[in-house]
Amino acid sequence: MDSVVMLAIDVGASGGKAIAGVLDLKELKLTIDELYRFPNQMIKVDNHLYWNVLQLWGEVKNSIKVALRKYKGKLTSVGIDTWGVDFALLDNHDELVGLPYAYRDPMTEGLMSEVFSKVPKEVIYSRTGIQFMRINTLYQLYALVKLNSPKLRIAKSMLMIPDLLNYWLSGVKVNEYTNASTTQFLDARSRKWCMDILEKLNIPTNILLEIVNAGSVLGNLRRDIVEEMGEKAGKDISVIAPATHDTASAVAAGPMIDENTGYVSSGTWNLVGVELSEPLINEQAMLSNFTNEGGAFGTITFLRNMQGMWIIQEIRRIMMDLSGREYTYDELVNLAIKAEETGSFIDVDDPRFLAPINMINEIHGYLKETGQREPGSLGELIRLIISSIALKHRYIFEKATKITGRGLRRINIFGGGSRNNLMNQLTANVMGIPVYAGPEESTSIGNILIQASGMGIIKSIHELRSIVRNSFNIRVFEPKDEEKYDDMYSMFITRLNLP
């Protein structure tokens, strides 16, 4: 066998895609082939936000059908990754207990302090090493306890979103490690569930399942799935759990990552951090709100979440509602490149930007309240956001280097956001070190190559990254005008009063 064909299905908060990877086993070079895209969005009913996982399941099957048509008889495996923290509940017949809530649902607002009154935050962090965000699974489950939800009373198992889709494909119910780590109730050192923390919050522990590592082979496509597709060639396709948390798959495929290279996995969220071989859990990490999420091959993605392209996604949506024009991301970035710096900034992680009704109005309100000049054009608005994102990158990296004691010589930005040349260049300028941008499809690439590790083709993360470097073009952005951007960073810290 000269090559192997694997299918990655990568589902994000705004859409999903199916990408086939053909790995040449002689040259150890990967080529990718985008086969299919589909939308995904939160659905609001009354005051709750849900994910339509039934629609996603249909799109997963559509993805496999397209792959089978193009690579008939050659497709060997499929793996699914999604975002973290969200989950589905199944009853004792393994049927869905309602649609899963979306992490931006308001039911978790104000609940964190109540959780801390029952289990001190220091205890939670010392065990899990996970940053405190109200969207975490821990607070979502506690919200169901507070609501006395019948969903929780009849639930017999909890599957993270990719675990659910992989279960429907394979018939095997497990929790994959990287996504399980985002719940904030997985012990970072033992990699076992923190049953005692859940019990103190009256969260049932009988819903938790076995934890498996990224790259685990779950089984073959279920017979009924193969029959439904009418493709006999699909009967021997393996279902492999990659790093099912999209961040973990993306970081695995970061080609430049080493001890002196920080990373930004850029998409709806920007995940900013460094890779470690074991959890780093101490008071300084907790106070700086860093997370020790699980990575592939036993690594730890020591990072901090910040809002990324979500803010620009929302501005695109608002502009469509206001003018009927659908701006592309490239059009918005080009407007920003031509615009001047306003000298104003936002903290992209201010809670008001998490899920506002109108993002543009929210930004203008923030600037008014902080006494800053408001942008006079759409280009100025987008440049203000991208500049603020780049400046927040430096803020987080400075925290990370102080906690870890590591100096950084370069930054690797990958994921869909790495197409944003202005963000890449501004990050290089602000950091004063080169930025290496790419690959854009890092999540799917990581997903595919972790499937290859499950088949025994790849033995280590170093081998995986060597294949990425051998297969994809990485663009380099050298820093410019460092003194100017040092001054801008000082203004950013002062105006936003960041600690």
pLDDT tops 80 at residue 232? no
Q: How far is CA 42 from the centre of its chain?
A: 16
3-244 CATH choice from 3.30.420.40, 3.40.50.300, 3.40.30.10, 3.10.129.10: 3.30.420.40
Q: How far is CA 389 from CA 51, 416, 499, in A?
A: 27, 15, 17
Cα–Cα distance, 314 to 337 (Å, whole number): 19
Q: What are the b/e assignments for 83-103, b being 16+ CB within 10 Å?
A: bbbbbbbbeeeeebbebbbbb
Sorting pLDDT into bands at 50, 70 and 90, what band is 204? very high
Choice among 10, 86, 246, 347 that is catalytic: 246
Length of the chain: 499
What average pLDDT does this structure show over 137-144? 98
- Helices 310-323 and 378-404 cross at an angle (nearest 10°) of 170
More confident: 268 or 392: 392
Cβ atoms of residues 291 and 304 within 8 Å: yes
* 3 state DSSP class of 305: strand
Task: Report pLDDT digits (tens) over 284-306.
Answer: 999 999 999 999 999 999 999 99
Which position has the token pair 């592939």? 296
pLDDT at 72: 86
DSSP conformational letter for 96: B
Cβ atoms of residues 251 and 265 within 8 Å: yes
Cβ atoms of residues 76 and 4 within 8 Å: yes
Task: Report pLDDT digits (tens) over 73-94.
Answer: 899 999 999 999 999 999 999 9
* 3 state DSSP class of 258: coil
Give the residue extent of every domain in the chain. 3-244, 254-438+459-499
Cβ atoms of residues 363 and 381 within 8 Å: yes
- Alpha-helical segments (H) within 92-149: 112-118, 121-128, 137-146
Same fold across 3-244 and 254-438+459-499 = yes
- Alpha-helical segments (H) within 298-358: 310-323, 329-338
Sorting pLDDT into bands at 50, 70 and 90, what band is 126? very high
Cα–Cα distance, 123 to 103 (Å, whole number): 23
Cα–Cα distance, 483 to 489 (Å, whole number): 10
DSSP conformational letter for 457: S
Cα–Cα distance, 365 to 355 (Å, whole number): 15
Tell me the sheet residues that pair with 4. Answer: 23
Cis peptide before 255 (omega within 30 of 0): no
pLDDT at 208: 98
Share of the chain above pLDDT 90, in %: 94
Give the sign of the dihedral formed by CA 172, CA 177, CA 178, CA 183.
positive
Side-chain-side CA neighbours of 429 within 13 Å: the count stands at 20
Sorting pLDDT into bands at 50, 70 and 90, what band is 7? very high
Query: Does residue 10 carry a catalytic annotation?
Result: no
Sorting pLDDT into bands at 50, 70 and 90, what band is 1? confident
Cα–Cα distance, 279 to 294 (Å, whole number): 9
Sorting pLDDT into bands at 50, 70 and 90, what band is 13? confident
Backbone phi, psi, residue 86, to 5° = -85, 155
Backbone phi, psi, residue 8, to 5° = -105, 130
Cβ atoms of residues 330 and 456 within 8 Å: no
pLDDT tops 80 at residue 250? yes
pLDDT tops 70 at residue 231? no
pLDDT tops 70 at residue 233? no
pLDDT tops 90 at residue 99? yes
Is the domain defined by 254-438+459-499 classed in CATH 3.40.50.2300? no
What average pLDDT does this structure show over 43-66? 96
Cα–Cα distance, 358 to 250 (Å, whole number): 30
Task: Report pLDDT digits (tens) over 158-183.
Answer: 999 999 999 999 999 999 999 999 99
Cα–Cα distance, 443 to 32 (Å, whole number): 12
What average pLDDT does this structure show over 116-128? 98
